Structure 1
Amino acid sequence: MSSSIPPSVKPGGHTPHDHDDAEHLKALGYASEFKRDMSAWANFSLGFTYLSPVVGVYTLFAYALATGGPPMIWSFLLVGLGQFTVALVFSEVVAQFPVAGGVYPWARRLWGRRYAWMTGWVYLVALLVTIASVVYGAGPYIASTLGFEANVNTTIMCALGLLALATVINLLGTKVLAVAAMVGFTAEIVGALAVGVWLLITHREHSLGVLFDSFGTGTGGGYLWVFAAAALIGVYQYYGFEACGDVAEEVPDPGRLIPKAMRRTIYIGGAAATFVCLALVLSVSDIPAVISGEDPDPVSTVLNDAFGATGAKVVLGIVLLSFLSCAMSLQAAASRLAYSYGRDGMIIGSALLRRFSPTRRVPPYALILAAVVPAAIVIGSKISTDAITKIISFAALGIYIGFQMVVVAALRARLKGWVPSGKYTLGRWGLPVNVAALIYGIVAIVNMAWPRTPDAPWYDNWIVALSGLVVIGAGLVYMIVHPLHDRSSGPYADAVPENRTKA
């Protein structure tokens, strides 16, 4: 039996891009320890499972439908367009600076060390909190599937079990992570399509006209305000594309492939999320009951009615796989960011965070950080479930703030003469797209932080904004007390021509 080496692969398993990728990274000031074992579709799958249409929609569907009625579904289109502009900006940056860690190294090259430190700090805290929120949110589903009562103790145990499994997958290396991401994507997209199609064929209760019927929500105060509140289902859905860039040193030809993966995450992930939401909306038999609070869990109601107890458990199995894939992808993103921090000597514990496993070719201590902190947050719910709710409230806001800090840095760099020079550029559309991304991001952040519970104590009413201020304030205090960032010798602020000239 003869064997042959494809023309795209050199002897030894190396592609023609390997040398170019290594040289590009060397020119950026780094020698990567990662293996480029992640294909273009695996990279997209990582972003898709981080975005996770099933997790996002199932988690917020009841809130969005009760708040704004069926028209809340249009937020997926509006938010998708807004986040697409952000993804385009990120695509230009990662094409020129394909360095592990995502928003932190991008902000470092576009602006400088201090700005990058704060960008990475906000984003890392948000990622760690998001991991906790995903595994904690999966707890009741796991308990239900296994036949346990979903109380605080069982939820914590199930969440920690899921977190441990995600950590083991990540510790096994890039190749295993890539395979797991592909499996997660396949299961989630097939499950989402199969469940959605089945609901539309066998359990459809409404025509498409219901998507324009608010069912009385917003009466008196105008529908715009309730739509803005309900639109959080879309706002919380469309991130994950940035994870494609977090693993830039593990993808061959990243300057070309990662921008494609980011756009695919928006296209396919957004379409899948919208379809899942549409199928659920058209299958809810009693929408007024959801709005009034009589049916607080319409997703379970629909699944049980459409599939029966046994079928609903099968669907829940797919949902659980989606939660696992999401947690796994979030961990990968957080660990690469922490590793990037450590490699540049930017934070206390850098010596551990930058350590690399010579066999698995992953940063084990950075991964452990991405497991221990979320686990501590989950365990904290034993003391106060209200406290964990307040902590988790920062998750999406922090991610959006991290995004916008990169968008602002890119805009500033453009105005100072930066011309993107990677394999993907927007050309003359770069500046207007950058401005559009900034405007969208500001609107989304204000919408997330806007107080909507006037009857609650003021600190609960403003909890999202306050959580953001606390994290940023803590970061500023750390920068003053322990200013390692000022001694970091890695390259920075070199996107702007005048800085390169001075260097």
Structure 2
Amino acid sequence: MTNPADANDVSDDTQLRQLGYATSFDRSMSLWENFSLGFTYLSPVVGVYTLFQFALSTGGAPMFWSYLLVGAGQFLVCLVFSEIVAQYPIAGGVYPWARRLVGERWGWMTGWVYLWALATTVAAVAMGAGPYLALLAGFTPSPLVNAVTAMLIIFASTLLNLGGTKILARVAMTGFICELCGALVVGAWLLLFGRQQSFSVLFDTSSVSGEASYLPAFLAASLAGIFQYYGFEACGDVAEEVPHPGKTIPRAMRLTIYIGGAAAMFVCVALILAVKDLGAVISGKDADPVWTVLTANFGEFGARAVLLVVLVSFLSCVLSLQAAASRLIFSFARDGMLPGSKALAQLSSTHVPSKALILCGLVPAGIALCGYFLSDAIAVVVSFAAVGIYLAFQMVVVGALSARLNGWSPSGQFNLGAWGMPVTVLAQIYGVAAIVNLAWPRRPETSWYENYGVILTSVVVLVAGLIVLPFMKSGIARLTAAADKAG
């Protein structure tokens, strides 16, 4: 007699074989563990705490509403991705999705952009933990502290990832529980006992713009929200490690937006209302309002306890980012689309792409180490982190739109039906607007390469991809021939 669970496993494997691959991973990641991976990648605590001072000083308290607006826009992208992963539940996410929607070259370029965005994001997040570790340990933040902290976090993340899918899932779940509980406890305490401002400040734009238009300040401050709302795609990056992925992953993606977005907005509004002197933050007099709020409400010891939770959030965020990047490299290598593909496509005894994981540790570690010696140059490189992810996202959305116009009708277990085309169009409009906002030069007083850093790094990555692309022609030719034969 066949066990129903075994029958479902066979169905998953059969679907994967129909897509051209044999199963190699350990399908042991549950819905909530898959969601936890996306949540810790999105990491509301890391996102809000890291960019709170910038957003509040730039846009004042009304910057809070950017989290709601950006969340709504990214939810549209999430719905598009949910349809795609339901039909193509393949490890690697954006690369295999874009490849099947448009073609091999478009898929390769999409994966190339996303890969470098992930590498710089891992480095940026790991370095971003430095100031919090310094505050926790009681010494002065510095580039050296940031670099050393990044090395330690990336090393720990690599070791944990090498342990296998079950360890990845458990650590992600632990990170999710710690981060969510910490966000809820700290936010609730601040709202109940630490509130210094009325809710009306969330609508007061005069403190930033006076009589002038508030829109430029709001758009600049909204970068905090734009940096916040990605991570849901990581649920799909590990599609071959999840039972019943066509049903499970779309749900996990949506949960990431629901719960991650709600947690981010809760933490943000609690911090805003707990700031005693908003004018001091806007003027730059209070350069670290998060630490000011925490010490005022929890004392030095309590504030350090909160920072410990923040550091756990940084580690789990890097863990999820590295896992996503390694599955992307594995997906590339399995198709013969990278130098050293044979080695990079191998799975270890723990059923993870170990060599790809090590590479995903070495490259970000190199970027972080260079940050100690070339801080200005690395700041420009890291500026590509968010816009690169948005570019890759929109290349997938373009692919979905193109495929729909050419007759593609999603047939997975999650389907938007008649809403598919309008949602895809709106997701495209939102994504383009977000990219323009990210890339818009706003600091004419700085050097040109800093002011145009986002545009500069994006052009460099795209041109480099076009230069490397012809050398991947053997892999592309093989995939094209296989697709023609299947057709």
Q: Which TM-score applies when normalising by structure 1?
A: 0.94
Distance 1:155 1:394, change over 3 A: same
Instruction: Determine the C-alpha separation between the residues in 2 that align with 1:227 and 1:256.
Output: 38
2:290 matched residue in structure 1: 299
Query: CA offsets, 1:285-315, max 9 Å, x none?
Result: 0000000010111001101111110000100
2:12 matched residue in structure 1: 21
Equivalent position amino acid for 2:260 in 1: G
Answer whether contact 2:104 2:479 (CA < 8 A) is retained. Answer: no
Residue 361 of structure 1 deviates from its aligned partner by 0.4
Query: CA offsets, 1:76-105, max 9 Å, x none?
Result: 111111101100000010000000000000
2:319 matched residue in structure 1: 328
Distance 1:300 1:15, change over 3 A: farther
Matched, 1:136 2:127: yes
Instruction: Determine the C-alpha separation between the residues in 2 that align with 1:316 and 1:216.
Output: 30
Instruction: Determine the C-alpha separation between the residues in 2 that align with 1:91 and 1:165.
Output: 31
Answer whether contact 2:247 2:414 (CA < 8 A) is retained. Answer: yes
Residue 155 of structure 1 deviates from its aligned partner by 2.2
Equivalent position amino acid for 1:480 in 2: P
Answer whether contact 2:337 2:472 (CA < 8 A) is retained. Answer: no
Query: CA offsets, 1:448-488, max 9 Å, x none?
Result: 00010011222221111111111101111111355344334
1:394 matched residue in structure 2: 384
1:385 matched residue in structure 2: 375
* Residue of structure 2 aligned with 1:33, choices 13, 24, 34: 24
Equivalent position amino acid for 1:232 in 2: L
* Residue of structure 1 aligned with 2:469, choices 465, 468, 479: 479
SS of the residue 2:415 aligns to: coil
Distance 1:446 1:228, change over 3 A: same
Matched, 1:410 2:406: no
1:244 matched residue in structure 2: 235
Instruction: Determine the C-alpha separation between the residues in 1 that align with 2:138 and 2:285.
Output: 25
Distance 1:491 1:47, change over 3 A: farther
2:418 matched residue in structure 1: 428
Distance 1:214 1:39, change over 3 A: same
1:447 matched residue in structure 2: 437
* Residue of structure 2 aligned with 1:210, choices 193, 201, 205: 201
Answer whether contact 1:132 1:375 (CA < 8 A) is retained. Answer: yes
Residue 445 of structure 1 deviates from its aligned partner by 0.3
Residue 221 of structure 1 deviates from its aligned partner by 4.6
Distance 1:9 1:53, change over 3 A: farther
Equivalent position amino acid for 1:184 in 2: G
Instruction: Determine the C-alpha separation between the residues in 1 that align with 2:393 and 2:209.
Output: 31
* Residue of structure 1 aligned with 2:364, choices 374, 380, 402: 374
Alignment of 1:249-328 (within 5 A): 249-328=240-319
Residue 147 of structure 1 deviates from its aligned partner by 3.2
Alignment of 1:52-63 (within 5 A): 52-63=43-54
Answer whether contact 2:41 2:231 (CA < 8 A) is retained. Answer: yes
Instruction: Determine the C-alpha separation between the residues in 2 that align with 1:484 and 1:167.
Output: 31
Answer whether contact 1:29 1:491 (CA < 8 A) is retained. Answer: no
1:3 matched residue in structure 2: none
Q: Which TM-score applies when normalising by structure 2?
A: 0.97
* Residue of structure 1 aligned with 2:64, choices 49, 60, 73: 73
Distance 1:22 1:312, change over 3 A: same
Matched, 1:199 2:190: yes
Instruction: Determine the C-alpha separation between the residues in 1 that align with 2:463 and 2:223.
Output: 25
Unaligned runs of 5+ in 1: 1-6
Which deviates more, 258-267 or 143-152? 143-152
Answer whether contact 1:29 1:490 (CA < 8 A) is retained. Answer: no
Instruction: Determine the C-alpha separation between the residues in 2 that align with 1:193 and 1:8.
Output: 44
Relative to total residues, which structure has the larger helix share, 1 or 2? Answer: 2
Matched, 1:150 2:141: yes
Answer whether contact 1:37 1:174 (CA < 8 A) is retained. Answer: yes
For these two proteins, the number of residue pairs brought into alignment is 487
Instruction: Determine the C-alpha separation between the residues in 2 that align with 1:428 and 1:366.
Output: 40
Instruction: Determine the C-alpha separation between the residues in 1 that align with 2:134 and 2:283.
Output: 27
Residue 249 of structure 1 deviates from its aligned partner by 0.1
Answer whether contact 2:380 2:449 (CA < 8 A) is retained. Answer: no
Instruction: Determine the C-alpha separation between the residues in 2 that align with 1:212 and 1:152.
Output: 37
Instruction: Determine the C-alpha separation between the residues in 1 that align with 2:2 and 2:459.
Output: 50
Answer whether contact 2:381 2:453 (CA < 8 A) is retained. Answer: no
Alignment of 1:97-112 (within 5 A): 97-112=88-103
Alpha-carbon RMSD: 1.6
Answer whether contact 2:40 2:316 (CA < 8 A) is retained. Answer: yes
Residue 238 of structure 1 deviates from its aligned partner by 0.4
Unaligned runs of 5+ in 2: none
Matched, 1:190 2:181: yes
Query: CA offsets, 1:256-284, max 9 Å, x none?
Result: 00000000000000000000000000000
Residue 9 of structure 1 deviates from its aligned partner by 5.9
Distance 1:319 1:79, change over 3 A: same
1:4 matched residue in structure 2: none
Equivalent position amino acid for 1:255 in 2: G
Query: CA offsets, 1:323-357, max 9 Å, x none?
Result: 01100000000000000000000111211210111
Instruction: Determine the C-alpha separation between the residues in 2 that align with 1:143 and 1:491.
Output: 55
Distance 1:490 1:319, change over 3 A: farther
Distance 1:485 1:133, change over 3 A: same
Q: Percent identity at matched positions?
A: 56
